[in-house]
Amino acid sequence: MTVVTIAREGAFAIVTINNPPVNALSRAVREGLMDAAEALDADPSVKGVVLTCAGNTFIAGADVNEFGQPPLPPHLPDVVARIEAADKPWIAAIHGSALGGGLEIALGCRFRIAAPGSSLGLPEVTLGLIPGAGGTVRTPRLVGASAAVDLVTTGKPVNAARAFAMGLIDAIARDGDLIASAIDALTERLQSPLPPTLASRSPLPVDATFWAEAEKKVKAAAKGEAAPMKALASIRTSVEKDFATAMAFERETFLERRASREAAALRMAFFAEREALRPVALRAIEAPKLETAGVIGGGTMGAGIAMALLDAGLTVTLIERDGEAAARGHANVAALVEASLKRGRLDTAGAAALLSRLSASSDYAALAGADLVIEAVFEDMAVKQAVFAQLEAVCRADAILATNTSYLDPREVGSPVADKRRYIGLHFFSPAHVMRLLEIVPVPETAPVTLAAAFALAKRLRKVPVEAGICDGFIGNRILKRYRAEAENLVREGIAIADVDAAMRAFGFPMGPFEAQDLGGLDIAFLQREGARASGTLEAEALADILVRAGRKGQKTAGGWYDYQPGERRPLVSAEAARLLAPHVSATASTLDGEVIADRLVQAMAEEGRSILAEGIAKRAVDIDLVEIHGYGFPRRKGGPMFHSGLSA
């Protein structure tokens, strides 16, 4: 198949890229564009060129099949430069997405027009890179330094209206008439002298104060990632230096970033997330469409799950033990909707639409027509089994029944369900409407179509799904348990609690292990350990147990591993915690370099991950990394414990 074709519309040539599914900039596309530019410059009957794409989108970026491979000519900067230097003016006719190299190609065209609903962006920083074909050099020459900084260092795309307002495109096309609109725009532009190419323009200068403020803002948003700051440096070079110097600086920085460990980690995460949504074994299975759902339990977890389902367009019935509890559950969900309204995620109409699809009841019969029901009650085996006994009595025979248990064996939880083909574990992470991870835990009898429905639901919820086998804590909480145990071992050896937390923050976690426990509550894991001990399972005494038995449960009691002032969340080193733990801590205080502490904790996580793989609890090392990144705050730029430790495969 020829991926670049040329057609004629009067005096205009229509160059069409057809490289499904997203018209990626493969070598064949790059060669085709170079050949088209040469051929059209040599044709005296051509007055102008419209560059468009077949299918649902403009060029959505680089060819992922070429990631990590040696680059082959023609290189993208040369393709952009050739289009920009064409004797006949090109106009990029954009629909769908013009991202990364796709937008850089459009910047090489003399003009740009976009269909309503299009998006344009330079997302390279999200992969640890910077634009490498003029994105940091041409954008400030087109839209100014401030807009360029926002566009490039965040990696966030803008819609057609915003792109037009900032000057990134010249016009918005008539709806449904992109090519004709492009030809009309180009015809009008040819009535006047052509504007200079971006390569020949000089960007408006900005003062040193602008760069100082931009550096502060970008550094704060980058959260330790290097690429946004590198992109900012490239934009500054493009403003302060000539075009050729700026292009050389950008290319050198791009090549350095492409070879970096951070970019490799972010690429790994990117590809793993893509693959997670469509497991190979399930691709041939058509999942049933889920439109109505029930959630049992209206507390923090249940309300969050209900909110996530509503946000994905489902109709939700919340079930609680009595009318008063049902009203509280409804209010909990309404509060989440209100919070989204205040943050601007929803407008008034959108919030009203969500709440119109929510009902709350104490009558399980309200779930008779539900496609899916998720149990999210207290982590107590008897309570959960009682829920499923009631669901078995009222739900349709083909309704999917799911448990949200964090630690309990889902085989036992779902024992009242007669047909286990429709039963599965869906482990959400709190807050469920925010956290992207969803551990999907099938039981041995779970039907493939039920598993496929779970993955399809995760995609609809915009979550990252990972299939997990059955064990204590599944993947994430099992590793968390090992992580916390190793952190306690460090404390037993005389390492200060605050030093352990500081080391993990420096590594890139939003919080250290002890700060995180204080925030969530030490009593949650304590009760799980107590339950295990009561059932006869050998469960070692944790240092955290000592604190809980002394009434120190974390921030909720103004004291856990740390002390807290009333109304404040700032952790304060606690003399009382030190006194309680003293009999179990080395009398000789020790110090370790922060990097050594972090390495020890990450290695403990990776070793537990190795065991999880060996036991078949996780299918791939990258699945473990996804769990840690999206469920536990492992820094994405480090790639997860398996990648960071060289164990990914």
Domain coordinates in residue numbering, the chain = 4-259, 280-467, 476-616
Give the rounded percent of residues in the chain with a pLDDT score beyond 90.
90
| Residues forming the active site | 104, 124
- 533's tokens: 């001990």
Q: Which residues contact 213 (CB under 8 A, 6 or more apart)?
A: none
Give all strands (DSSP E) within 125-188, no chain letters.
Answer: 158-159, 171-172
Mean pLDDT (whole number) for 448-476:
97
Q: What angle do CA 214, 217, 222 make, to 5 degrees?
A: 115
Please tell me whether residue 159 adopts helix, strand or coil conformation. strand
Task: With a cut of 60, say whether residue 649 has pLDDT above it.
Answer: no
Averaged pLDDT of the chain? 95
Looking at residue 69, what is its pLDDT?
75
Looking at residue 167, what is its pLDDT?
97
Task: With a cut of 90, say whether residue 535 has pLDDT above it.
Answer: no
Looking at residue 405, what is its pLDDT?
95
Please tell me whether residue 18 adopts helix, strand or coil conformation. coil
What kind and span of H or E run contains 428? strand 423-428
Instruction: With cut-offs at 50, 70 and 90, classify the pLDDT of residue 176.
Output: confident
Task: With a cut of 80, say whether residue 70 has pLDDT above it.
Answer: no
Tens digits of residue pLDDT in 334-344: 999 999 999 99
- Separation of alpha carbons 66 and 44, rounded Å: 36
- CATH architecture, domain 4-259: Alpha-Beta Complex (3.90)
Give the rounded percent of residues in the chain with a pLDDT score beyond 70.
99
- 45's tokens: 């009957």
Closest CA to 465 of 411, 428, 420: 428
Looking at residue 60, what is its pLDDT?
92
> In this structure, are residues 237 and 249 in contact, taking their beta carbons and an 8 Å threshold?
yes
Tens digits of residue pLDDT in 77-130: 999 999 999 999 999 999 999 999 999 999 999 999 999 999 999 999 999 999
Please tell me whether residue 15 adopts helix, strand or coil conformation. strand
Helices (H), 493-593: 497-507, 513-520, 522-534, 543-549, 575-581
Looking at residue 538, what is its pLDDT?
65
Task: With a cut of 70, say whether residue 648 has pLDDT above it.
Answer: no
Task: With a cut of 80, say whether residue 542 has pLDDT above it.
Answer: yes
Task: With a cut of 70, say whether residue 187 has pLDDT above it.
Answer: yes
Task: Report the range of poorest mean pLDDT among 69-73, 160-164, 307-311.
Answer: 69-73
Task: Report the range of poorest mean pLDDT among 108-112, 526-530, 597-601.
Answer: 526-530
In the 3-class helix/strand/coil scheme, how is 316-341 assigned residue by residue?
EEEECCCHHHHHHHHHHHHHHHHHHH
pTM of this structure: 0.90
> In this structure, are residues 108 and 25 in contact, taking their beta carbons and an 8 Å threshold?
no
Region 476-616: CATH code: 1.10.1040.50
- 622's tokens: 């990258």
Task: With a cut of 60, say whether residue 511 has pLDDT above it.
Answer: yes
Looking at residue 617, what is its pLDDT?
97
Task: Report the range of poorest mean pLDDT among 268-277, 325-334, 361-370.
Answer: 268-277
Looking at residue 540, what is its pLDDT?
77
Q: Residue 173 phi/psi, 5° resolution?
A: -70, 160
- Separation of alpha carbons 216 and 340, rounded Å: 28
- CATH H-level, domain 280-467: superfamily: NAD(P)-binding Rossmann-like Domain (3.40.50.720)
